[in-house]
Amino acid sequence: MAAKKYTEGLAFLVDALKANKNAVYADVKAAAEKKGLTVWPIMFGKAKLMLGHVKAGKGRTKKAAGPRRGPGRPPNAVMAAGQRRGPGRPRKVAPVSGSLDSIIDAVKGSQRDRDRYRGALEKIQGILAGVLTG
């Protein structure tokens, strides 16, 4: 029964727009409420679309359905040259290429980092041992 009430509201809107193409939603809604019909703005737009008074929007495709960006902002994946990434964000580093020299350099760099972190942890451990025994 409820679905019938809504379809009757849409039919009422279509009839009202056929009679007066420039009808205002507020006036048509008041007339529909007097007849006990429920109408919403979306129904008003659909009625206008059905009669050809407005054109349908393109809509968002699945490909374009990513996060919306403001005007003039490049997508996150493609930053303009020289553009800052923001506070606290590391610089983008080019991916390691497939040559053997670059792989060896990457491994040596990670070993240097490991040694540096291990030294820092040993210092922290020494400080904690001194505080706990002292």
Structural domain boundaries in the chain: 2-51, 96-134
Spatial distance between the Cα atoms of 69 and 76, rounded to a whole number of angstroms: 10
Question: What confidence score (pLDDT) does residue 134 get?
Answer: 73
How far apart, in Å, are the Cα atoms of 116 and each of 29, 55, 90, 103, 119?
73, 65, 19, 20, 5
Res 109 pLDDT > 60: yes
Spatial distance between the Cα atoms of 21 and 52, rounded to a whole number of angstroms: 10
Question: What confidence score (pLDDT) does residue 129 get?
Answer: 92
DSSP E strands: which ranges in 60-101? none
Spatial distance between the Cα atoms of 14 and 50, rounded to a whole number of angstroms: 8
Radius of gyration of the chain (CA): 33
Res 73 pLDDT > 90: no
Q: Which of 9, 75, 93 is nearest to 46 (CA)?
A: 9
Share of the chain above pLDDT 90, in %: 40
User: Mean pLDDT over residues 58-82, rounded?
Assistant: 59
Instruction: Indicate whether this model's pTM tops 0.95.
Output: no
Question: What confidence score (pLDDT) does residue 90 get?
Answer: 73
Question: What confidence score (pLDDT) does residue 95 get?
Answer: 62
Share of the chain above pLDDT 70, in %: 71
Tokens describing residue 61: 């495709």
